[in-house]
Amino acid sequence: MITAAMRRCLGAYAALVCLLAVLPVLIIVIESFTASDYVVFPPSGFSVKWYVESLQREEFLDSALLSLWVAVIASVVATALGTLVALALVRFRFPGRRVLQSLFMAPLSVPGIIFGLALLQFLASWGVARDMTAVIVGHVIIALPFAIRFVTVALIGMVANVELAAQSLGASPWVVFRRVTLPLIRPGVVASLVFAFILSFDDVAVSLFLATPGTMTLPVRIYVYIDQNYDPLITAVSAIVVMVAFLALGAIERTLGIGRLFGLR
Amino acid sequence: MATVELLDVRKSFGAMQAVAGVSLRIAEGEFVALLGPSGCGKTTTLNLIAGFLEPTGGDIRFDGTSVARLPPHRRNIGVVFQSYALFPHMTVAQNVAFGLEMRKLPKPQVTERVRRALDIVHLGQMEDRNSRQLSGGQQQRVALARALVIEPAVLLLDEPLSNLDAALREQMRFEIREIQQRVGITTVFVTHDQSEAMAAADRLVVMDKGVIRQVGTAREIYETPVDPFVAGFIGQANLIAGTIDRVTGGQAQVVLEDGTRVVASCRPDAHAGQAVMLMVRPEDASVSAVAPPVTAPSATPPSGGNALSGTLLRASLLGATINLGVAVGERSLSVSVPRGTALPPVGSAVFVTWDPERALLFPA
Ligand SMILES: Nc1ncnc2c1ncn2[C@@H]1O[C@H](COP(=O)(O)OP(=O)(O)OP(=O)(O)O)[C@@H](O)[C@H]1O
Ligand SMILES: [Mg+2]
């Protein structure tokens, strides 16, 4: 039994957790509107000059665009691969299936920074240039376990035998996938796309090793910038990133529902 | 419109033999009912015919040609799954239309045939309903319409009526039979309901533990079951252990466990001293308060008089018949008599009698 008092306590606790999670980010956003030339909280005066400034800084715009492209491509590739892997692991029984299952989850247990270093060494030893493709490959690898997970959950949740029913009605394997399997695992696929996108867009550890001056993703650009200067420009850039993420989440909530994304509904 | 042949078909899941050597020839347009206890391999057999599973041994042929290499979507089959397996993201009409679309029928024709199929299963008003919002029985009927509408060569039905009430069940059974005969669809029908199987099917196939125990018409199986399992599975059977004492012209004298002597029809290979099971169907037996006349003159029942003395335990009216329970020694025998039969009071001493012609002996 949950009493009214307990319910209130739980509510307050949940609110506190949310506040702690959002507060630091909120402070950055508030700071970004300062009129001063240094980072200060509370901000002194109100101005959007740092936003104007940040939009004029070409290196940030280039990095933002690059990050966007990398994230889009990495999430699509990771989701496509993840779907194929999940289909194989769920639909077929073959020797070594268990081992493969664990192997595909392995990147989760390796710290990003170590993985980035390893990938750098690996690419170097193969003589592959550090470029956008390298960054995308890195992001695909870190996103793949999540993609496999999301699609696997969706596949397991599918009504039994619907694919066989479609086959019996004359649908070839490809038609079965397009008309039955894909529509039914769509929530998992969309979740994978979104999550992979966010992982890629946020990643610092892996990109840091693979970035060159020409291929610096936005988080790396921010990181490098902070290393040398700390002015409100960076808070404005950060605020923009936060708002983009918020907009993306808002769009998903409107179309799919965030809960659906994590299988809560 | 195809003969279906199973030739020593086997299917193992790891160490578990789900189908352990099944051979069966189903004629073109024939309607065969597959019966057997839960887990005996009925669904597995259907899945093998459909091509959802690959046999681990033996061969399956449609019209004499092996279909081992033919994927399900090229076999021209219709399947109703035990779990319905409707497409949850489609409406009722879209579910039924799926197979017709795969066959590239023009749109107006699809609409027309879907409508007719839904009318047949009494779901004419439900076309645009989402298939997730249907009751179990409604889902089952959509599944049936979806399989029937394509008028396949082979129809595989896995308990397609299990979720319907008695009246609807009978109607649907009639409709399946009608379409099946009109189009000449070779049909395999899995059911737990033996009266349904006996009413609808041309032949029954009784399975147990992955093998076929007996194949035959309802009458053959009911009147001459090959073993106690079939006897007990199709219809009811009283089974009493005994030993053959003497064989004379197709009939054997049997000494039952408790020493009673009875007579029963036996197989040609029966011989004295053989341990046997005596089988009497409840409706072939009757009860009377007085010993039957044959046994009356002497103390020991002579040959020809089949009577076991016992106590009438209960009498339950089951509609057209009354089911009686009679305690004979340790065991309880079941007797069924027409409604309205005059009966001794419950608790009184009675004799259970039967016609020797109707009693069968199985090797124990
Ligand atoms: N995919 C599978 N993996 C392992 N064992 C299986 C599999 N499918 C079926 N079996 C086993 O094979 C046997 C036969 O199963 P099947 O589904 O054919 O039974 P059934 O006759 O249809 O039973 P029911 O009347 O309960 O539907 C069962 O013992 C079952 O546990
Ligand atoms: Mg079954």
A182 vs B contacts (CB less than 8 Å)? none
Predicted confidence band of residue A259 (pLDDT cuts 50, 70, 90): low
Place of tokens 């070779």: B186
Helices (H) and strands (E) in chain A, counts: 13, 0
The full set of domains in chain B, from first to last, is: 4-229 (3.40.50.300), 236-363 (2.40.50.100)
- Report cis status (omega within 30 of 0) of the bond before A232: no
- Interface touch B99/A184, C-beta < 8 Å: no
Stretch B311-333: mean pLDDT, rounded? 89
Q: Is B139 helix (H, G, I), strand (E, B) or coil?
A: helix
Examine the pLDDT at A128 and tell me if it is beyond 80.
no
Asked whether residue A140 is domain-assigned, the answer is yes
- Contacts of range B213-222, beta carbons closer than 8 Å, 24 or more positions apart: B213/B36, B215/B24, B222/B198
Residue closest via CA to ligand 1's atom 3 equals B13
Residues with CB under 6 A from ligand 1: B 13, 16, 18, 36, 38-44, 82
Contact (CB, 8 A) for A146 and A195: yes
Residue closest via CA to ligand 1's atom 31 equals B39
Distance B123 CA to ligand 2 centre (A): 26
Examine the pLDDT at A261 and tell me if it is beyond 70.
no
Instruction: Please list, in sequence order, all residues whose beta carbon lies within 8 angstroms of the beta carbon of residue B137, skipping any fewer than 6 positions away.
Output: B163, B164, B165, B168
CA distance B102 to chain A (A): 6
Q: Residue B34 has what pLDDT?
A: 95
More confident residue, A81 or A3: A81
Amino acid present at B93: A
Split into its structural domains, chain A has a count of 1
A175 vs B contacts (CB less than 8 Å)? 102
More confident residue, B92 or B1: B92
Q: Residue B142 has what pLDDT?
A: 95
Residue range B41-66, pLDDT digits in tens: 999 999 999 999 999 999 999 999 99
Asked whether residue A51 is domain-assigned, the answer is no
Q: Residue A258 has what pLDDT?
A: 65
Retrieve residue B105's tokens: 């029928």
| C-alpha closest to that of B97 among B131, B50, B122 | B131
Sheet holding B31-35, edge to edge: B77-80, B154-158, B186-190, B31-35, B203-208, B211-216
A94 vs B contacts (CB less than 8 Å)? none
Predicted confidence band of residue B1 (pLDDT cuts 50, 70, 90): low
Q: Return the CA Rg of chain B.
A: 25
What's A250's domain CATH number? 1.10.3720.10
More confident residue, A251 or A165: A165
What residues make up the domain containing A174?
A: 59-261
CA distance B355 to chain A (A): 50
Residue range B249-305, pLDDT digits in tens: 788 889 988 888 888 888 888 888 889 999 999 999 988 887 766 543 343 444 446
Examine the pLDDT at A262 and tell me if it is beyond 80.
no
Residue range B82-140, pLDDT digits in tens: 899 999 999 999 999 999 999 999 999 999 999 999 999 999 999 899 988 898 889 99
Lowest mean pLDDT among A2-6, A84-88, B189-193, B209-213: A2-6
- Chosen for mutation from A158, A168, A185 (greatest number of chain B CBs closer than 10 Å) is A168
Share of chain A above pLDDT 70, in %: 95
Stretch A60-85: mean pLDDT, rounded? 93
- Interface touch B102/A170, C-beta < 8 Å: yes
Asked whether residue A241 is domain-assigned, the answer is yes
- Interface touch B77/A168, C-beta < 8 Å: yes
Residue range A80-103, pLDDT digits in tens: 999 999 999 998 888 888 899 888
Q: Is A121 helix (H, G, I), strand (E, B) or coil?
A: helix
> Which among A170, A180, A183 has CB closest to B99?
A170
Q: Residue B300 has what pLDDT?
A: 43
Asked whether residue A10 is domain-assigned, the answer is no
Stretch B128-153: mean pLDDT, rounded? 92
ipTM above 0.85, yes or no: no
More confident residue, B204 or A225: B204
Distance B45 CA to ligand 2 centre (A): 9
> What letter does residue B81 receive in the DSSP assignment?
B
Asked whether residue A255 is domain-assigned, the answer is yes
Which ligand 1 atom minimizes the distance to the CA of B47? 18
Residue range A177-226, pLDDT digits in tens: 999 999 999 888 988 998 899 889 888 888 888 888 888 898 888 888 88
Q: Residue A159 has what pLDDT?
A: 86
Asked whether residue A1 is domain-assigned, the answer is no
Stretch A6-23: mean pLDDT, rounded? 89
Average pLDDT, chain A: 87
- Interface touch A164/B99, C-beta < 8 Å: no
Q: Residue A252 has what pLDDT?
A: 73
Retrieve residue B242's tokens: 């005994």
**Claim: this prediction has a pTM higher than 0.80:** yes
- Interface touch B98/A184, C-beta < 8 Å: no
> What letter does residue B294 receive in the DSSP assignment?
G
- Please tell me the distance from the alpha carbon of residue B150 to that of residue B155, in angstroms, as a whole number: 10
Examine the pLDDT at B196 and tell me if it is beyond 50.
yes
Retrieve residue B357's tokens: 């012609």
Residue range A133-191, pLDDT digits in tens: 889 999 999 999 999 999 999 999 888 899 999 999 999 999 999 999 999 998 889 88
Stretch A226-237: mean pLDDT, rounded? 84
Asked whether residue A83 is domain-assigned, the answer is yes
- Interface touch B50/A164, C-beta < 8 Å: yes
Residues of A with CB under 8 A from a CB of B: 159-162, 164-173, 175-176, 179-180, 183-184
- Please tell me the distance from the alpha carbon of residue A28 to that of residue A51, in angstroms, as a whole number: 13
- Interface touch B87/A162, C-beta < 8 Å: yes
Select from B11, B34, B42, B163 the residue to mutate for testing ligand 1; criterion: most ligand atoms less than 8 Å from CB.
Answer: B42
> Which among B50, B72, B87 has CB closest to A180?
B87
Contact (CB, 8 A) for B177 and B149: no
